[in-house]
Amino acid sequence: ARNRYYKWEVKYEFRSPDCFKKLVITINAKTPGPTIQAEEGDTVIVQVNNTLLTENLSIHWHGIRQIGTPWFDGTEGVTQCPILPGDSFVYQFVVDRPGTYLYHAHYGMQREAGLYGLIRVAPRDPEPFTYDFDRSIILNDWYHQSTYEQASGLSSIPFQWVGEPQSLLIHGKGRFNCSNSPSLSTGVCDMSKCSPFIQTVIPGKTYRLRIGSLTALSALSFQIEGHNMTVIEADGHYVEPFVVKNLFIYSGETYSVLVKTDQDPSRNYWITSNVVSRNRTTPPGLAIFNYYPNHPKRSPPTVPPSPPAWDDVEPRLAQSLAIKARQGYIHKPPTTSDRVIVLLNTQNNISEYRRWSVNNVSFTLPHTPYLIALRENVSNAFDPTPPPDGYDFASYDIWSPPPNANATSSNGIYRLRFNTTVDVILQNANTMNTNNSETHPWHLHGHDFWVLGYGKGKFDVKNDTKKYNLENPIMKNTVPVHPFGWTALRFRSDNPGVWAFHCHIESHFYMGMGVVFEEGIERVGKLPSSIMGCGKTKGFHRP
Ligand code: C2O
Ligand code: CU
């Protein structure tokens, strides 16, 4: 195993990823940031220099379990104090499993400003499939407002929703039609300032495409015109291969697909991303699948393929159900669990603020990170009352807006007994608007979980648990809960630390859609002083 050193300069720069000029956060002048490449078992060491003029920072390594290093998970308020402007911070962790992962800012709504990228971990053992080339594409949606305008709007009275994104980016490139906004001066919106992402391919080959999504809001359908994709990896786990024409991908997920360049080589093809699950107003993301030696900028002669209906849940549910662990790579889950936590997802009001809640509790981050508070026995750092393990199953109607829209807010957390098996049922419900339920991709830090099942309507403890897939469930770190549906997960509380579990929609987490699990805090090693210095850890020394 080797050490992989990275030195990152993080700063604000003016960029026009979709022709519209705005301030974005770059890493070494790039957004998306550099791809981290390592081999299974390597140690990744990233020295982050916070060169943002006046803004804190923290970076999360999404999908890396941080075994033995819970303090380098990069989750502000949970595992560390923010990195102050002018400071530098060294993250050091082992990438213990091969696969495709992500990284992104985890402070306020900073991720949306452009601080994100991919982590690729090569396996030591041969893989159960072959390909000629390995390429990555990261998907995003893009807003023209700053994260400050957005975050302030979400926490204002009256509430100001962020709205739909202005464009969709494919590997950091998109196209906003400036002529639709004639009030924007050419200095701000300039159609010569952006160009589509181009993936050049050689005819007659097999490509492994690693696709990751870090959208702020959007669920996406990803497609390569005229080409099938064979899904082989999800969140770092091998998938029993299945073929799709379009891949549904939710924020925080990664997939690998195999694509054969077996179409007419005399032309180029469209690569598209489209919003699903919300009534789309954002134009498709467009990139070019360029068959060598055609000119990379030559537009495909056809119109981009049309996307699936935005409100059709069936094909999305079908894809979720199709993702199983690959034969020969199955990790069987424990057959029973020690604790079941049901998390009802609702939209609520708290005084006049619009919030998201889980079992009627809307999550807020404390000023003293939990990991430090618990490991160092700092008192009164957060609400000691844990949130409830369930909701009122019998009477709650998931098909209607909440009868009592008022929720409470808390920074209380779930304390898990170490080395036990925990089931989490994510239960979706109607939002505050009638006949509306959204898709929420939930991401668990510090673990992979088994995906035991998905269903429609209200989870029925007696019958639905019998239908769990205990034979070949996929392990993932991010999973959607579909509109008016439920998703059941199982994991082992075997990674000492404090771990966030939240909706990966940036604004939803900001509005309270998350929980935190503590497990085995007494087994956590000595905390590095570099994570301290905020809240009640002010007296603790920074180096
Ligand atoms: Cu990728 Cu807590 O997030
Ligand atoms: Cu959500």
Instruction: Walk along the chain (543 residues) in steps of 10 and give the mean pLDDT of each run.
Output: 97 97 97 98 98 97 98 98 97 98 98 98 97 98 97 95 98 94 86 95 98 98 98 98 98 98 98 97 98 97 97 98 98 97 96 95 98 96 97 94 93 98 98 97 98 97 95 98 98 98 98 98 97 91 52
Q: What is the pLDDT of residue 541?
A: 61
Please report the sign of the dihedral spanned by the C-alpha atoms of residue 135, residue 502, residue 435, residue 320.
positive
**pLDDT tens, position by position, 260-272:** 999 999 999 999 9
SS3 string of 178-242? Answer: HHHCCCCCCCCECHHHCCCCEEEECCCCEEEEEEEECCCCCEEEEEECCCCEEEEEECCEEEEEE
Strands (E), 250-328: 254-260, 269-276, 285-291
Q: What is the pLDDT of residue 129?
A: 98
The protein residue whose alpha carbon is closest to atom 1 in ligand 1 is 62
Contacts with 459 (C-beta within 8 Å, 6 or more apart), sequence order: 342, 425, 427, 486, 488
Q: What is the pLDDT of residue 540?
A: 79
Q: Which atom of ligand 1 is nearest to the CA of 445?
A: 2
What was the ipTM of the complex prediction?
0.98
Q: Which ligand is nearest to the CA of 483?
A: 2
Tell me the pairing of strands 497-503 and 440-444: antiparallel
CB neighbourhood size of 424 (10 A): 24
**Domain 339-528 in the same topology as domain 127-313:** yes
Q: What is the pLDDT of residue 543?
A: 45
Q: What is the pLDDT of residue 404?
A: 86
Closest C-alpha to 259, from 442, 134, 344: 134
Tokens for 166? 């202005």
Q: What is the pLDDT of residue 180?
A: 84
Q: What is the pLDDT of residue 212?
A: 98
Rounded-to-integer distance, Cα 170 and Cα 34, Å: 15
Q: Which atom of ligand 1 is nearest to the CA of 478?
A: 1
- Which of the following CATH numbers is that of domain 339-528: 3.20.20.70, 3.40.50.920, 1.20.1630.10, 2.60.40.420? 2.60.40.420
Pocket of ligand 1 (CB under 6 A): 60, 62, 75, 104, 106, 252, 443, 445, 500, 502, 504
- Give the distance (Å) from ligand 1 centre to CA of residue 319: 23
1-126 folds as Immunoglobulin-like (2.60.40)
Whole-prediction pTM: 0.97
- Give the distance (Å) from ligand 1 centre to CA of residue 92: 18
- Give residue limits of the domains in the chain: 1-126, 127-313, 339-528
- Give the distance (Å) from ligand 2 centre to CA of residue 62: 17
Q: Which atom of ligand 1 is nearest to the CA of 104?
A: 1
CATH level 2 (architecture), domain 127-313: Sandwich (2.60)
